[in-house]
Amino acid sequence: MLSKNKIKYIQALSLKKFRDKYGVFVAEGEKLVQELLPFFKAEMLVVQQNDAGEYPAGEAEVLTVTSGEMKKISNLQSARNVLAVFYKPAGILEVSEIRNSLTLALDGIQDPGNLGTILRIADWFGIANVVCSPDTVDVFNPKVVQATMGALARVKVHYTPLAEFLSQAKVPVYGTFLEGENLYQTQLDSHGIILMGNEGKGIREEPAKYVSKKLFIPPFPPHAQNVESLNVGVATAILCAEFRRPSVP
């Protein structure tokens, strides 16, 4: 039985102020919940009647509900059979990790789907840290959590003023600009920071000061009248693929 207070509590977690207040976030769906359970401590597990999934919930409170009750607490258009409330991790940004690996930095990304996609890209290309400006959409937004498809378990996300972070990183910083060098003809380091800008405004002036190498993803054929710009998720994937391309003798 799901009490009215529990329903209100879970519904409130769709808002950032309540996720921050209680230090938790919501994930929905059998596959996603099963993927996150080994990495995040669960506060509550809500399972629909007749669900046959296996959920090692540990000390979490486990509640069995009807399909109607699940619809009341779901953030999705079509409610899933399981919903979990997880405690948010206390992520610590280790400078040593940044200086010896490839890192993504995001300047004002607003769309939850874009952030979720970028985390999946980071996961695919073995990028362990994503550093976000404070005004980037909250990674624990339910839409972002769903869009990560479990990548949230393996990629650490940090929020900090980007200009200050970039000024102290002491590694090459790459960013995409129309006046940049052709990506496919530029020597790329195995470590550094790839800075991606806002969907509409691109990289803002303050963090742009710390870009040491400006890159451009050329259209094909050159100078063709194509779309004005690439989606930030697509551009991130192209850049990460080039950075991870093995050297050809």
Helix (H, G, I), strand (E, B) or coil at 55: coil
Q: Which residues of the chain have pLDDT under 50?
A: none
The class that CATH gives domain 4-87 is: alpha beta
Please state the domain extents for the chain. 4-87, 95-243
Give me the phi and psi of 8, to 5 degrees please: -60, -40
Q: Decide the pairing of beta strands 129-132 and 156-159.
A: parallel
Give the model's pLDDT for residue 53.
81
Q: Hey, how many other C-beta atoms are within 10 angstroms of the C-beta on 247?
A: 5
Give the model's pLDDT for residue 190.
85
Give the model's pLDDT for residue 248.
53
Residue the block writes with tokens 């404070």:
134
Any alpha helices (H) in the chain, and if so which ranges? 4-12, 16-22, 30-36, 67-73, 95-99, 112-124, 142-148, 162-169, 205-208, 232-243
Choose which CATH entry (3.40.50.1820, 3.40.1280.10, 3.40.50.300, 3.40.50.10800) describes domain 95-243. Answer: 3.40.1280.10
Contact partners, residue 222, CB within 8 Å, separation at least 6: none
Q: Which two tokens stand for residue 102?
A: 């490839």
